[in-house]
Structure 1
């Protein structure tokens, strides 16, 4: 009831005995019935309630759908008086007008509404509105079911997975992986609110509790859409790849008489590089033999497209995902002991003083005689002539690179793997041990010579260069752990181009990577360019090389991110069992409210809160105590020990 009006504003008394102020244009119906205010407020409120009950009852008599079926063909506005007359042909009054408005306002599926008139929706509009209503109703049921499922699981109840639960699990997974980018974001958030959850980690815990995910689920594989297996058609094509002995007598140079070795980690299954060594009268002959993957995986075929989409094999403490099907990566492409394999061989003639005299690159057939681990190679370096000689050549080649401005960053490598019980084991690896050092330098030598070979033959490839660092700390390859760590932060990112440019970090005038074609698609592409110069296939054009570099930029970034994050996850899982233990750390730099420090035993950075009365400087050694670790949340906190 209008209590007061003025300046297009109304003061109203409602049936709930409340006074409200609204603009006059917001009224949906104005009746002619009047009631004097001097009748008393309680009486007016009682009368308004009785009137509301009466008008709602009248609204219940309006058959909205039937009315629409009669009127929707007209597609014309119908005024309130006419509409009321259609519904109540006899003695229609204010109450009937209000009842019609209430009925059509409550069910807005069939008519568009204005204060004094109505427009029937078209059949298509009604269908769309009904579909939206149905979707909204289903959404409400999903939210209610999801909240109830979460509460039941939290209470310890065993709930059998229904089709509804499976749909909810997909919604939860999508939300956890993509959050605001998920098409189910609003549904998941509504369920969380109704269930009283405040963090996405609660959704992760629920998915673990119902068996959809494991406690150590690698969500990054799903987040970045990394395939973990191969399609039947890809596996079928891999089965059809011919055996290696088919290449005997095919015009390749037979090097099966050479004593050829591989040196890799103990868990390696895909051997793509091998070495040979011969002593001649006045020089050494070093052979670097790379599995000729391009002989098996043809440019543009299904295996090639699959490898290109993946970009690289992925190595993690708890899983290995090959770029090529395991039948190829671990068997027919792999340089396994006592098996003949086609290869691209680089034979390097080296003087007795360590200088490179000449080199030759050609297709070959090899047979690996020894499959050594790094540990076995280290022992052989002390006892065996070939390994010791290769190590000496590697040292001399590195010295040459350093004299040409190379930046040799020497940092220990932290290896993480899972034991038979699924627990993480951490091992600190010396990357400067004879076995690892000679392999690293031999592969750099091979890649440099491949780059020179391609450049001399004016063949585009995926050349890798690196600008000068932002600053130079290390001199002549020496330096403390602190200096090596900080120097790495000052390096500029490498650049990929179709043509050769200087690689400052390696101290070389040109560089490609061609020594891991089983594991990396860039290396496979470069191997094909080498084969093209050798007359074995058609070369990629410069434009095609640029397209490959562009297409693989994101997949390779994802692979690097996944490997880093998974290694860090399992390292933090290991540290979760070390809470309360003391560790030695190096102060890296001072920040606003904390120091950045490096835990030496694990080569991992974390913040150290500033302590009153203690002033630390970069490179100071401190002892800290591990306070809190959460691998899932990627958190590590320590305090001064």
Structure 2
């Protein structure tokens, strides 16, 4: 059933294109394009070709064939506009197989390579369709907008993490560096970590920021605040935690002086 077929599975978020050279009981014995042999449960196979390859050919020929197939599928994938596929089926509350979607894109000529290319494109896109058990359901327009916003927020967070950690790294090492536009947000994070430690409201992001800056101890947040001139070296943390006001208006000081 599987021997001689091109079998694809997903490993660590990547499609692995292989050739089944033998069926061994409950596992498939596969050859990869990098000349490795792996055993795989049939349940993990995402794509199984309809056409086969003669596995009796020399190993070098089989590997060359695998690499050729991989190149073809990768090239076809670049030609696929997932948004266009979504527009065609978005109003239908149905689930589709990748072979059917491949026919929508490439017409009746769609074969194993086309079907694999569509599957790869939709899998990598992760915006317009949700995938379950090798089948695809188009996301609603509202869901697409929500995913877009989430991606934008993640990109902004990632960029801030990169810039913020680079700045803190320079500050920590005593070097002058231009502060990012969101400096105050970083200072607030440092204050949280210095005062509340693991109980800080934004502990996870603050810890992530320091780690990216090469700082593993959150207690160094106080050192950073001192380096930035926000706090003194002998800053009374207990007083800050109690939120007792230590700077008073001039008129209150004058009244106190009369007592």
TM-score, normalised on structure 1? 0.35
Matches within 5 A, 1:508-519: none
Task: Report what 1:228 is aligned to.
Answer: 245
Q: 1:94 aligns with which of 109, 112, 119?
A: 112
2:16 corresponds to which residue? none
The residue that corresponds to 1:106 in the other structure is 124
Residue in structure 2 matched with residue 24 of structure 1 by the alignment: 42
Per-residue CA shift, 1:130-151, capped at 9, x if unaligned?
1221222222212211221133
CA offset at residue 119 of structure 1?
0.4
Aligned to 2:178: 160
Post-superposition shift, 1:208?
A: 1.9
Cα 1:140–1:162, aligned 2, differ >3 Å: closer, same or farther? closer
The Cα of 1:94 is off from its aligned counterpart by 0.3
1:212 matched residue in structure 2: 230
Residue pair 2:97, 2:136 contacting (<8 A) in 1 also: yes
Number of equivalenced pairs: 241
Give the aligned partner of residue 5 of structure 1: 23
CA deviation profile, 1:346-365 (whole Å, cap 9, x unmatched): xxxxxxxxxxxxxxxxxxxx
Q: Does 1:192 align with 2:222?
A: no
Matched, 1:41 2:59: yes
**Structure 2 unaligned runs (5+)?**
1-18
Map Cα deviations across residues 144-195 of structure 1 (whole Å, 9 max, x no partner). Answer: 1122113322444322333233322223332333333334323233333333
**CA distance in 2 between partners of 1:162 and 1:195 (Å):** 14
Structure 1 residues 120 and 147: CA distance shift in structure 2, 3 A = same
CA distance in 2 between partners of 1:90 and 1:135 (Å): 41
Going from structure 1 to structure 2, the CA distance change for 1:87 and 1:150 (only over 3 Å counts) comes to same
**Which structure carries more relative contact order (alpha carbon 8 Å, separation 6+)?**
2
- One of 68, 82, 87 as aligned partner of 1:50: 68
- Relative to structure 1, the CA distance from residue 197 to residue 162 in structure 2 (aligned partners, 3 Å threshold; closer, same or farther) is closer
Question: Partner of 2:162 in structure 1?
Answer: 144
**Structure 1: runs of 5+ lacking an equivalent:** 240-324, 337-641
Partner of 2:12: none
Partner SS state of residue 38, structure 1? coil
* Cα deviation, residue 96, structure 1: 0.3
* Distance (whole Å) between structure 2 residues aligned to residue 162 and residue 194 of structure 1: 16
Match of 1:123 among 141, 163, 168: 141
Show the 5 A alignment for 1:497-516: none
Q: Contact 2:207–2:218 at 8 Å: present in 1 too?
A: no
Aligned-pair distance for 1:326?
Answer: 5.4
How has the CA–CA distance of structure 1 residues 199 and 57 changed in structure 2, closer, same or farther, with 3 Å as cutoff?
same
Q: Distance between the aligned counterparts of 1:203 and 1:42, measured in 2?
A: 58
How far apart are the structure 2 equivalents of 1:125 and 1:110? 8
Please point out which of 162, 166, 169 is paired with 2:187: 169
Larger radius of gyration: 1
Check whether the contact 1:142–1:168 (CA below 8 A) recurs between aligned residues: no
More strand by share: 1
TM-score, normalising length: structure 2: 0.79
Greater mean alpha carbon deviation, residues 64-73 or residues 117-126:
64-73
Partners of 1:185 and 1:73 in 2: how far apart? Answer: 43
Q: RMSD across aligned C-alpha pairs, in angstroms? A: 2.8
The answer to which structure has the higher helix fraction is: 2
1:65 — aligned with what? 83
